Amino acid sequence: MTTQQKNYVMALDLGTTGNRAIIFDHTGAIAGQAYKELPQSYPQPGWVEHDPKHIWDDTKWAMKRVLADTGISAESIAAIGLTVQRETCLLWDKTTGKPIHPAIVWQDRRTASFCKELEAAGHVEEVYDRTGLVLDAYFSATKLHWLLDWAKQHSDVPLENMLAGTVDTWALWNLTGGKIHRTDHSNASRTMLLNLETQKWDEKLLDLFGIPAHIMPEVQSSLGEFGVTDASLLGVEIPVTAIFGDQQAALYAHGCDRPGLLKCTYGTGAFLVVNTGADIARSQHRLLSTIAWTQMVDGKPKTDYALEGSMFTAGACIQWLRDGLGIIKTAGDSDPLAQSVPDNGGAYFVPALSGLGAPHWDMGARGAFLGLTRGVEKAHMVRAVLEAIAFQAREVVEAINSDCGTPIKTLKVDGGACNNDFLMQFQADVLGIPVERPAVLDATAQGAAFGAGLAVGLWDDYHTIVGDRPIDKTFEPSVGAASAQNNFAIWQDAVGRTKNWIVS
Ligand code: ADP
C-alpha cells in the first residue's frame, strides 16, 4: 500500500467521563467514532479514582469498534493523535504491566492537607516559579507522592520496577506494547514536576515530593514521533505522532497559535486557555502558566506557552440541576427555561459546588443561591445557574486581559455546554465580545487529529486545516449587554459571601 492511500487519522480522546476513538478523513471531517463511558469510583469523600486497566481496555475497544463500524482498514490510518484528561496519574509494574493502585483523578482532594503542610513550610512561591502552577492537590505531584507512600506500605513491587505516568504515558506504553515510556511537554507541564524554563523534570521538586527520577517518563515535543503501535493490536504498526493535554488540544484545534487568542471549553468544568507565545507569561491573578504545545520548526524546538483559568464546576452545575435537584429532565431543557423569563428575578448562584478555582483558588468556598424572594421561580434559578457559568468566565477573561495587557477580542468555544444558546448569548453579553461556536464541538479530538495528521504530511498547512473548520454561529453582544455587565458586579459580591465556608 502506498502512503497516498493512508487517508485517515485516528484521534484517541481519553477523557474524565469517557474514552473515545474518532477517525478524521483527509478533509478534516469526522468519518466515525466509538465512545464508552468510564466508571468513576469515589472510595471516600473527596477521593476520585479510575481503573487504568479499564481505560486501556476501553481504548482498545474504541479503536477496533470505530474501524469495524466505518469499514476503514487499519492500514489506511496514517497516524494516531492522543489527547487525555490531565493531571490524573498512576504507577505500574513494568514487568507485568499491572497498575499498582487505581489512578488518582485530577478532581481528587486527598492530598489537600499535604498541600497545606507544604504551604506552611513556605514552598508556594518556589513551586509557582518553577512550574507556573498554584500549589494545589489538583496537580499530579502530590498524588504521585501519595501513591509511592501507599506502595511502600502495601505493594511488593520493588521501586526499581515501577513506572509513573499521566494517562497519555499509560496509554502510549500500552499502545506500543510496553516499549515506550514517554509524555509530551503539555501533559508534563500539569504534573507540578516540570520546570517551565528548562522543560525538564525539576530535580528540586522531585526531591520535595519524594519522587525518584527513574520512574518518570521521558519528555518530548507534543508534535513528533512517539513510537508505533504494537502490530498485535490492529494488525499493523501505526505511528503515534501527537500527544496533548485535552485543553491544549482544543486550543490547537481552534487555531489559537498566536498570543492573545483565547478559547473556553465548557464541559464538566470550564477551562479558559490563552496562547501567550514563546514567552512564559506570569500572572498577577493566580492564573496558571503552562505549556500549550512544543514542536520542531525548521529543525529548532519551538514552544507555545499559555495562561489558563480552570473552573471546576460549569456543566456539572447543570448535571446537578438535573440529577441532584431533578428540576430539569435534560441538560438541554435549561436553555428554553432560562429564555422563558426576561431576567434572573434577582437570583444569583455561586457555582462553588467543589470549591472555587481560578482566580480565587478557595477550596473552602461552597455553592449558594442569593437574592431569593417569593417572586423567584424555577426558571429564574435555572437562569441564575447558567448566568453564573458565564460570570465565572468573565472573571477569568478580566484576569487574562490585565495579565496580557491587550484585551481579548473574540472567545472561541467548544464542549458540551456550549450547545446552550442562552449561555452563549449571555456569555457574549457579559464579556462584550463575540463568541464563536464551531460546527464540530469535539475540539479536543480534532486538535489531536490535526497535530498527528500534520506530523505525517496528511495535511501540509496548519492554518488551512484549522481555517477550514465551519463556524456554526457567532454570538454578538446584544441589547442585553449593559444589564448583564451590571449584574456581574452583584454576582461578584455574592461570590465574596461564599468564601471560606468550610474551614479545614
Ligand atoms: P466532559 O468532556 O467534561 O465530560 P462534555 O464536553 O461532554 O464534558 O459536556 C458535558 C457537560 O455539558 C455536562 O456537564 C452537561 O451537563 C453539559 N451540557 C450538555 N448539554 C448542555 C446544554 N444544552 N446546556 C447546558 N449544559 C449542557
Q: What is the pLDDT of residues 187-239, one digit of tens each?
A: 999 999 999 999 999 999 999 999 999 999 999 999 999 999 999 999 999 99
Give pLDDT, residue 43.
93
CA-to-CA distance for 117 and 109, rounded, in angstroms?
14
Query: pLDDT for 31-53, tens place per residue?
Result: 999 999 999 899 988 899 999 99
Residue 88 and residue 191 in contact, taking contact as beta carbons nearer than 8 Å: no
Query: Mean pLDDT for the chain?
Result: 94
- Put residue 255 in one of left, alpha, beta given phi > 0 → left and psi -120 to 50 → alpha: left
Question: CB of 415 closer than 6 A to ligand 1?
Answer: yes
Atom of ligand 1 nearest to the CA of 441: 6
Query: pLDDT for 253-292, tens place per residue?
Result: 999 999 999 999 999 899 999 999 998 999 999 999 999 9
Q: What sign results for the dihedral spanned by CA atoms 76, 79, 83, 84?
A: positive
Q: How far is the CA of 415 from the centre of ligand 1 (A)?
A: 7
| Res. 306 pLDDT band, cuts 50 70 90 | very high
Give pLDDT, residue 361.
87
Give pLDDT, residue 372.
96
- Name the residue of 83, 86, 268 to mutate for ligand 1: max ligand atoms within 8 A of Cβ: 268
Percentages helix, strand, coil for the chain, rounded to the nearest 5?
40, 25, 40
Three-point CA angle 17, 18, 23, nearest 5°: 140
Give pLDDT, residue 330.
95
Q: Whose CA is nearest to atom 9 of ligand 1?
A: 416
Is residue 4 over pLDDT 60? no
In the three-class reduction of DSSP (H, G, I as helix; E, B as strand; rest coil), residue 80 is classed as strand
Give pLDDT, residue 502.
84
Give pLDDT, residue 364.
83
Q: What is the 3-state secondary structure (H, E, C) of 266-302?
A: ECCCEEEEEEEECCCCCCCCCCEEEEEEEEEECCEEE
Atom of ligand 1 nearest to the CA of 332: 23
Query: pLDDT for 396-454, tens place per residue?
Result: 999 999 998 889 999 999 999 999 999 999 999 999 999 999 998 899 999 999 999 99
Mean pLDDT in residue range 313-319: 91
In the three-class reduction of DSSP (H, G, I as helix; E, B as strand; rest coil), residue 450 is classed as helix
Is residue 2 over pLDDT 80? no
> Helices (DSSP H) in 405-461: which residue ranges?
421-431, 443-455
Give pLDDT, residue 406.
84
Q: How far is the CA of 253 from the centre of ligand 1 (A)?
A: 19
Q: Which residue has the cell 448562584?
A: 349
- Buried b vs exposed e over 251-269: b needs ≥16 C-beta within 10 Å? bbbbbbbebbbbbbbbbbb
Give pLDDT, residue 56.
98
Question: CB of 81 closer than 6 A to ligand 1?
Answer: no
| Res. 111 pLDDT band, cuts 50 70 90 | very high
CA-to-CA distance for 30 and 438, rounded, in angstroms?
14
Q: Whose CA is nearest to atom 25 of ligand 1?
A: 417
Give pLDDT, residue 6.
86
Is residue 1 over pLDDT 80? no
Is residue 3 over pLDDT 60? no
Q: Whose CA is nearest to atom 2 of ligand 1?
A: 267
Give pLDDT, residue 504.
63
CA-to-CA distance for 113 and 183, rounded, in angstroms?
28
Q: How far is the CA of 420 from the centre of ligand 1 (A)?
A: 9
Residue 63 and residue 234 in contact, taking contact as beta carbons nearer than 8 Å: yes
Full-model pTM: 0.93
Query: pLDDT for 127-159, tens place per residue?
Result: 999 999 999 998 999 999 999 999 999 999 999
